[in-house]
Amino acid sequence: MTATTTAGWGADSEVGRLRTVVLHRPGAELRRLTPRNNDRLLFDGIPWVGRAQEEHDAFAQALRDRDVEVLYLTDLLTETFASSDARRDAIADVLRSRHLGDTLRDYLADALADASPAELTEALTAGIRNDEVRGGHGLVTSLLAPDDFLVDPLPNLLFTRDSSVWVRDRVAVTSLAMPARSRETQLTELIYALHPRFAGAERIHGWQNEYVEGGDVLLLAPGVIAVGVGERSTPAGVERLARQAFHGGLAHTVLAVPIAQERATMHLDTVCTMVDVDKVVMYPNVADTLRAHAVTLAEPVGDRSESELVLRVAPAAPFLEAAAAAMGIERLHRIDTGLDPVTAEREQWDDGNNTLALAPRVAVAYERNDETNARLEEAGIEVVRIAGSELGSGRGGPRCMSCPVLRDPLA
Ligand SMILES: NC(=O)NCCC[C@H](N)C(=O)O
């Protein structure tokens, strides 16, 4: 292991004391959701935006009350757009869309180049509707419906955990599998590449690599990473992340964990999150069937390049056992969601498993999941309850809505 966590950023676990986090306060992009587009944009309903903002502000305040520094993604993006390179790259990326046509593309290129940093952030996150453009009119604008999007909104920006994840002192900008989300990581990558706060931060992965989503990546312990493989993160994505982690000396074991390819279990963090150094809250309906392949290096890195590393893949073993063995602990204790299978199913759907640890044995959770929260407390976990009736309509909880940038190291 060569890398260490630096003072300004980095995390080597899910539970080290949280110092800095990136959130996204929901805004205009949520007002774009309609019953006709919400499925495609990966929302299960139409949130009441004002209430979602109140819930989110209370979430952010709960973190600040615990001395966590809250950074907002759109502030970082707007500050990043002080750089003309960032503006140029962001505009080029969004205009690569095959839906635009040359007339519209030329018009938008000029309009976006003239936009202020804040206006550019707004256009790239809330999207641009056909009836909102003042020029570039022609074949494409005539044939599209007035409320068709020329640039799609990004309502899932709310889930900042998916678009980047820190692994020790490196940031993995992820690669999102669903078309509705792929543009999120273009923006995240610009922030990490060009925002002065992250100057010098080394990046692994990237939005054009094989698919890996942050919600699938769990830092079980220093040197041990679990990665869910399912609807979002692919086997090739896990292999890429493992190669990068091994090559950078960031991990000794990566657990590849197949999960059911279903909406309710889209990421590993929808069924399992850590609440202590040796405790997870877990969906009991999958706990006994969840398995993991331990991936390790067959030979030392030496002077091999990342692609030359030889990986050893162990046969599948029960997840909790494989995890404990890799973590070097006797047992990874499991706290169940709900009391019975039906309650567990209801509370898992409402993100009862998706907790954000602020420190060992302190976790933020949606208040609505009464039984899971009671079980956490019985197990000695302090639960910081937040409201999430509107926030949850995108199917994500406190962990999905937060990207820890700095945690105290456990190693
Ligand atoms: N880590 C997570 O589970 N994130 C929640 C993502 C929800 C979002 N609506 C999506 O479908 O991608």
Give pLDDT tens digits for 313-326: 999 999 999 999 99
**Rounded mean pLDDT, 285-303:** 94
Q: How far is the CA of 178 from the centre of ligand 1 (A)?
A: 10
pLDDT score at 385: 98
In the chain, % of residues over pLDDT 90: 87
Would you state the structure tokens that stand for residue 262, as one six-digit string?
Answer: 């279903």
Q: How far is the CA of 158 from the centre of ligand 1 (A)?
A: 9
pTM of the model: 0.95
- CB of 215 within 6 A of ligand 1: the answer is yes
Q: Identify whether the C-beta of residue 225 lies closer than 8 Å to the C-beta of residue 13.
A: no
pLDDT score at 287: 86
Question: What is the residue with the minimal CA distance to atom 6 of ligand 1?
Answer: 396
- CB of 162 within 6 A of ligand 1: the answer is yes
Give pLDDT tens digits for 159-215: 999 999 999 999 999 999 999 999 999 999 999 999 999 999 999 988 889 999 999
Q: How far is the CA of 216 from the centre of ligand 1 (A)?
A: 10
DSSP 48-65: -HHHHHHHHHHHHHHHHH
Q: How confident is the model at residue 263 (pLDDT cuts 50, 70, 90)?
A: confident
pLDDT score at 367: 96
pLDDT score at 7: 54
Nearest-atom number in ligand 1 for the CA of 161 is 1
- The DSSP H or E segment spanning 107 is helix 102-114
Q: How far is the CA of 56 from the centre of ligand 1 (A)?
A: 16
Catalytic residue among 18, 364, 400, 403: 400
Residue 252 has pLDDT above 90, yes or no: yes
- CB of 180 within 6 A of ligand 1: the answer is no
Does the annotation mark 272 as catalytic? no
Q: Rounded to whole angstroms, how far apart are CA atoms 79 and 35?
A: 34
- CB of 285 within 6 A of ligand 1: the answer is no
